[in-house]
Amino acid sequence: MQQGSRVLLTGFGPFRHYRLNPSEQMAAHFNGLEIGGSTIEGRVLPVSYRGCRAVADEIRRNPPQAVVMLGLRATHRRIGLERIAVNIADGRFPDETGDRAENRVLDPTGPDGIFATLPIHTIHNALSTGGFSSHISNSAGTYVCNALFYHVVRVAGEFQIPAGFVHIPAMKHNWSEDRLWEAVRVILETVAIRVKSTL
C-alpha cells in the first residue's frame, strides 16, 4: 500500500439539547489511529449548513482516500447506513448559527440526489457478522447531516473517493460507548479494505 493513505472521519459537535454528541466522541476517539493500513483523521464539525460546504471545499484542496461521515439519530436503535443525499435543506430547527433552512436548494447546479459511494452493503454485512444492528436507510433527512452528505459526496466523486454518511444511535438501550467504538471500528476497517484495493 502507498504511504499516506488517509480516511477522513467526521462527527458533529453538540446541538440543541444533545450536549454530548456520540458522533463527536467517535471522531475524537479514532483521530490519529491506524486502521487497516490507513490513518484516521477525526474531525469534529459544527452543526452548520455553511460549515458543510467548507468541509467539501477542504476535501477538494486536500482529498483523502475515503470519507466516513457520522451523525446522531437519537430516535433510532440501529446504525443507519445512508444510501442517498438529496439536494434540499429544510430543517425544523435552525443550525447552531441560527440559520433555519426552509425548502432551500443546497446547490442549484447539482443533481436532485447523489448516492453514497461507500460499500454500504459490505459494511452492513460486516456489522451484522460482528453482532451490531444496522440497516440501509433511504433517507438522511433534510437537516445538516444531509447537507454535509450531499456536498461531500459530490466533491468526493470528482476524485473517485468512496464517501458516505452513517447515522449512529444515542448511547442508551444496548449501545454503550465501548460498543459504539467497536461498531465504528468495523465500519472503518471495511472502508480501509476498499481503500487498500484501489491503491
Judge whether 1 lies within some domain. no
Task: Write out pLDDT tens, residues 38-47.
Answer: 999 999 999 9
The number of distinct structural domains making up the chain is 1
Task: Write out pLDDT tens, residues 95-117.
Answer: 999 999 999 999 999 999 999 99
Paired strand residues for 169: none
Predicted local distance difference test score (pLDDT) of residue 184: 98
Q: Which residues have CB under 8 Å from 91's CB, separation 6+? A: 100, 101, 102, 142, 143, 144
What residues make up the domain containing 126?
Answer: 6-198
Give dist(CA 93, CA 95) in Å, integer. 7
Judge whether 42 lies within some domain. yes
CATH label of the domain that carries residue 38 = 3.40.630.20
Q: Which grid coordinates belong to 78?
A: 440501529
Predicted local distance difference test score (pLDDT) of residue 199: 72
Judge whether 169 lies within some domain. yes
Predicted local distance difference test score (pLDDT) of residue 99: 96
| Residues 111 and 87: beta-carbon distance below 8 Å | yes
Judge whether 18 lies within some domain. yes
Whole-angstrom Cα Rg for the chain: 16
What is the reported pTM? 0.95
Q: Per residue of the chain (199 residues), give pLDDT as tens.
A: 345 799 999 999 998 777 889 999 999 999 999 999 999 999 999 999 999 999 999 999 999 999 999 999 988 999 999 999 999 999 999 999 999 999 999 999 999 999 999 999 999 999 999 999 999 999 999 999 999 999 999 999 999 999 999 999 998 888 999 999 999 999 999 999 999 888 7
Instruction: Report the residue count for the chain.
Output: 199
Residue that is written with C-alpha cell 443550525 in the block: 95
Which residues have a catalytic role annotated?
82, 145, 167
Q: Exposed/middle/buried for 6, CB within 10 Å: 0-12, 13-18, 19+?
A: middle
